[in-house]
């Protein structure tokens, strides 16, 4: 049986469970969403660019047996379409991890199975004391596993390990759908542990599995410092570092793409000290790719803290972006841990962007790919130094003593 046939069979079995789990109105609303994604994907293939939110679900209608016979088979259409770089850096094509990779169907299969069935939310966050002089390596969207020789995840992981950081932190996303095997094989077994500990955040892809494997596999193995909780704080004399779960309370009807903190986490944020310099870590973005529109998590966070953080590092968007400071607030997107991506040309003249990664990775298999990488942060008293480092160990951006 072909790979695509196996995917189709698994998806259709999961779909039947989904139909029995949700109400007719919920079913129809979700199928309308899938139809929207399908149509956007079809249009983007024809036109070569455009908006496509929820690309993991582009092939859904083509794979479902009950779909209208007239629904175009996007997979067949896309096979004739050469990979191109969208204006936001995403790769439009059917290659591994690209927007129309049929493997993303597993994300929908898992979402069908866990639409109303997710792991219990743990509400005992740790506040861990850390040294006043301490360093971190942070990568987002790293959980692809070493899917080929010299995969970006392998290269980035090796460079992170070389720094022997005190703490290593993953900003979430284990692909395709955060299943048990993927949490173990694509994250736990290969993640470069910090000498004093490691942390990992929840994400939309792990929520497709109901976050069961995130809580039961990742948090019980290499990431034990979190004591089973998906949010946490690290604190020293000058700094408070807050790790957030922006995915658990997100809406499945939005495909978990828009972050949400939930009441328990918001109430916890209100109890944290506000008189220190604050770093926030999350999977979902604080504001959109061009640094213009603030997202729902931004508003929830600032309202709970009563102030903006000093620094905020997020993933979710597969890119490396250093935003210009807004007052005392520095935003950073470091979702370029492993997923192949290209030159996001919409950022080239953005008034809010100080730097973004556009240097070719010289990848013979994916010629349009630009460099993957991570960020290295050092705290020394009240000063923060950051370096964005690429998969080859080269320093791409250096900001000292901010």
The predicted pLDDT at position 69 comes to 47
Task: State how far the Cα of 197 lies from the Cα of 205, in Å rounded to an integer.
Answer: 24
The predicted pLDDT at position 7 comes to 85
Condensed to tens digits (0 to 9), the pLDDT of residues 226-247 reads: 999 999 999 999 999 999 999 9
The predicted pLDDT at position 118 comes to 97
Which of 144, 136, 191 lies closest to 165, judged by CA?
136
Condensed to tens digits (0 to 9), the pLDDT of residues 125-173 reads: 999 999 999 999 999 999 999 999 999 999 999 999 999 999 999 999 9
Percent of the chain with pLDDT over 70: 97
* Beta carbons of 218 and 172 less than 8 angstroms apart: no
pLDDT-derived band at 220, boundaries 50, 70, 90: very high
- The pLDDT of 376-388, averaged and rounded, is 97
Enter the tokens of residue 273.
């000290």
Residue 275: Cβ within 10 Å count: 6
Phi/psi zone of residue 97: left (φ > 0), alpha (ψ -120 to 50 degrees), beta? left
- The pLDDT of 197-219, averaged and rounded, is 98
Instruction: Enter the pTM of the model.
Output: 0.96
> Is the dihedral angle over the CA atoms 69, 102, 218, 379 positive or is it negative?
negative
- The pLDDT of 23-40, averaged and rounded, is 93
Condensed to tens digits (0 to 9), the pLDDT of residues 358-374 reads: 999 999 999 999 999 99
Q: Please, what are the domains in the chain? A: 3-114 (no CATH), 127-399 (3.60.21.10)
DSSP characters for 260-282? ---HHHHHHHHHS--SSEEEEEE
The two beta strands, 277-282 and 311-314, are parallel
The predicted pLDDT at position 106 comes to 95
The predicted pLDDT at position 47 comes to 74
256-263 long-range CB contacts below 8 Å, 24 or more apart?
256/204, 256/207, 256/208, 257/53, 257/54, 257/204, 258/284, 258/295, 258/296, 259/283, 259/284, 259/285, 259/295, 259/296, 259/297, 259/316, 260/296, 260/297, 260/300, 261/297, 261/300, 261/301, 261/304, 262/121
Q: What angle do CA 247, 252, 258 make, to 5 degrees?
A: 50
* Beta carbons of 144 and 338 less than 8 angstroms apart: yes
The predicted pLDDT at position 67 comes to 58
Condensed to tens digits (0 to 9), the pLDDT of residues 329-356 reads: 999 999 999 999 999 999 999 999 999 9
Residue 198, helix vs strand vs coil: strand
Condensed to tens digits (0 to 9), the pLDDT of residues 81-90 reads: 788 899 999 9
> Does residue 173 or residue 94 have the better pLDDT?
173
The average confidence (pLDDT) of the chain is 93
Condensed to tens digits (0 to 9), the pLDDT of residues 298-318 reads: 999 999 999 999 999 999 999
Condensed to tens digits (0 to 9), the pLDDT of residues 34-70 reads: 999 888 888 888 776 667 787 788 888 888 876 554 5
Write down the H helix ranges in 96-172: 105-114, 152-162
Condensed to tens digits (0 to 9), the pLDDT of residues 34-43 reads: 999 888 888 8
Q: For tokens 């966050």, what's the residue?
A: 125
């Amino acid at each position: 049986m072909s790979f695509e046939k196996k995917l189709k069979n698994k998806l259709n079995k999961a779909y039947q469970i989904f139909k029995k789990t949700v109400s007719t109105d919920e079913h129809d609303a979700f199928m309308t969403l899938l139809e929207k994604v399908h149509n956007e994907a079809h249009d983007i293939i024809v036109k070569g660019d455009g908006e496509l939110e929820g690309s993991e679900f582009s092939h859904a209608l083509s794979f479902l047996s009950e779909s209208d016979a007239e629904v175009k088979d996007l997979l067949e259409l896309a096979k004739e379409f050469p990979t191109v770089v969208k204006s936001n850096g995403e790769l439009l094509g059917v290659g591994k991890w690209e927007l129309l990779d049929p493997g993303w169907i597993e994300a929908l299969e898992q979402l069908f199975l866990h639409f109303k069935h997710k792991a219990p939310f743990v509400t005992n966050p740790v506040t861990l004391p850390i040294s006043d002089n301490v360093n971190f390596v942070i990568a987002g969207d790293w959980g692809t596993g070493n899917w080929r020789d010299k995969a970006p995840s392998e290269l980035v992981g090796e460079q992170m390990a070389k720094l022997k950081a005190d703490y290593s932190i993953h900003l979430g996303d284990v692909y395709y759908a955060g299943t048990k095997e993927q949490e173990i094989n694509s994250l736990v077994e290969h993640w470069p542990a910090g000498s004093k500990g490691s942390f990992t955040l929840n994400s939309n892809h792990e929520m497709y599995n109901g976050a069961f494997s995130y809580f039961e596999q990742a948090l019980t193995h290499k990431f034990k410092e979190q004591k089973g909780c998906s949010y946490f704080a690290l604190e020293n004399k000058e700094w408070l570092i807050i790790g957030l779960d922006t995915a658990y309370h997100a809406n499945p009807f939005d495909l978990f793409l828009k972050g949400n903190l939930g009441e328990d986490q918001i109430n916890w944020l209100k109890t944290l000290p506000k008189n220190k310099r604050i770093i926030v870590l999350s999977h979902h973005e604080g504001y959109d790719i061009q640094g213009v529109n603030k997202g729902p998590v931004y508003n929830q966070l600032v309202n709970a803290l009563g102030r903006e953080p000093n620094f905020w590092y997020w993933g979710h968007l597969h890119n490396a972006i250093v935003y210009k400071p807004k007052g005392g607030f520095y935003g950073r997107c470091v979702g370029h841990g492993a997923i192949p991506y290209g030159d996001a040309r919409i950022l080239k003249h953005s008034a809010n962007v100080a730097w973004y990664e556009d240097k070719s990775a010289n990848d013979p298999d994916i010629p349009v790919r630009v460099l993957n990488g991570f960020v290295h942060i050092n705290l020394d008293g009240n000063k923060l130094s950051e370096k964005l480092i690429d998969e080859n160990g080269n320093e791409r951006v250096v900001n000292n003593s901010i």
